[in-house]
Structure 1
């Protein structure tokens, strides 16, 4: 979705309760899904409150700028998909959805997250790619069930240290961030925009682990010779191969 500057407020479509009910689906595993993606709506329809017993709520690829406070009525949802909208902030009410397993906030205009996001104790997947984030709240460390976090295409200059406290974390996507590396000859900082992935060593096959260890040793040796080195997390392996 194009995110160019608009000269006037876009007027979105209005959805009736009947139209919304026609968007209800039953997944193969028996979950009740309300899919309002691609509806050209600028606000979340108030009428969806009557369907608060859904298991999954999809509001992606719309023109939504704010999330209403009544979102916390959807207390049983495990998936909340808000990617590709115009969100500039996430209200605390979203953090009250204690059963969330997947939260997709990719491709919005977020510059920060509420500290209360640490309340989402069951969260497995958090996608924050394509936003304007420079840092994560320290409360992210409370998401002990988190397996995957997407941070690509943001403004991170270093790997968030709070991620090192997540013992179940399997993959961190930091692709296309301005990760800083020290350039010893000039003692200046340079921007690295190449792909950067972090995965746990236990998830790599023997050959890939050996390859990563070799590359890491090369970087350590380079550091001793005053050459650049990428930042890394303890107990995580820097990984540039998407296929691993």
Structure 2
């Protein structure tokens, strides 16, 4: 008798029968996770009335073509296995709403175009694989709401993704694309940080006031060197009186700016 993770086919069959439970929605669910499976047991292929099947956290390297006969499935969880490819027959699971293939060894070549036939799919998890592109047929997944592509090899967002009208959650973290996008956003924030804003010194701590005054004095010294004719004392005095206590550090302006604007108009 063939062994699966130290257990015989007969032992696994008994365990499977005991593990089947009925959800509150009346669906038949089998959780066969962490069983040390290398292949999908033969007896399991005959359990075609299952609605939810969890084969996660095993060591399954290949799915049989017969997986396509599980037409009653709405949820299929295969995360944390050793799958390198998917059979074309997986496209026959048109009742699927949730498909989890995260943390496998899938590549772009291992994704069949038939994935696009899963017309009722709302959640697809392909994270933690070795994928750099998706089959263009996935643009047919009109009901897809969540698409996880994190920890892969994408250098750009798949072209069809913006056309998925019901997509509300896209995870592209830790991809070459995501890193490049992060760097662009970071640089934009650095560039914006160079802008100056008005703020009243009452809103600053002592350390910030000291630093700002030092910067202000430095700016004034630079202006004196650049201009041969200094500004008239009367004009300088007028500006100091009009904007008493006003500083120009990199910070957010206080609400009291409205008061200063009124004074300026007066």
Query: TM-score when scaled to structure 2?
Result: 0.64
Structure 2 stretches lacking a partner, 5+ long = 193-266
State the distance in 2 between where 1:74 and 1:64 align.
Answer: 18
Contact kept, 8 Å, 2:51 with 2:74, in 1: the verdict is yes
Q: Deviations over 1:39-61 (max 9, x none)?
A: 01101001013321011011000
Which region of structure 1 is more displaced relative to structure 2, 81-90 or 156-165? 156-165
The alignment yields a C-alpha RMSD, in angstroms, of 2.3
State the distance in 2 between where 1:155 and 1:75 align.
Answer: 32
State the distance in 1 between where 2:21 and 2:153 align.
Answer: 37
Match of 2:166 among 165, 168, 175: 168
Q: 1:176 to 1:33 in 2, by over 3 A?
A: same
- The answer to whether the aligner puts 1:121 opposite 2:109 as a matched pair is no
Match of 1:146 among 141, 144, 147: 144
Contact kept, 8 Å, 2:75 with 2:99, in 1: the verdict is yes
Contact kept, 8 Å, 1:177 with 1:193, in 2: the verdict is no
Match of 2:5 among 2, 8, 12: 12
Q: Which structure's CA Rg is the greater one?
A: 2
Report SS of the residue matched to 2:46. Answer: helix
1:30-49 map, 5 Å: 30-49=26-45
State the distance in 2 between where 1:59 and 1:11 align.
Answer: 13
For 1:73, the equivalent position in structure 2 comes to: 69
Contact kept, 8 Å, 1:148 with 1:171, in 2: the verdict is yes
Contact kept, 8 Å, 1:65 with 1:85, in 2: the verdict is yes
- The answer to whether the aligner puts 1:62 opposite 2:50 as a matched pair is no
Q: Deviations over 1:3-43 (max 9, x none)?
A: xxxxxxx9734442222211211122221101111101101
State the distance in 1 between where 2:42 and 2:30 align.
Answer: 14
Query: TM-score when scaled to structure 1?
Result: 0.69
State the distance in 1 between where 2:181 and 2:101 align.
Answer: 22
Structure 1 stretches lacking a partner, 5+ long = 1-9, 181-190, 196-214, 223-244
State the distance in 2 between where 1:11 and 1:77 align.
Answer: 24
Q: Deviations over 1:143-189 (max 9, x none)?
A: 00100000000000111111111111111000110117xxxxxxxxx
Higher helix share: 2
State the distance in 1 between where 2:147 and 2:103 align.
Answer: 14
1:189-208 map, 5 Å: 191-192=179-180
Higher strand share: 1
> What is the CA-CA distance between 1:193 and the residue it aligns to?
8.0
State the distance in 1 between where 2:114 and 2:120 align.
Answer: 14
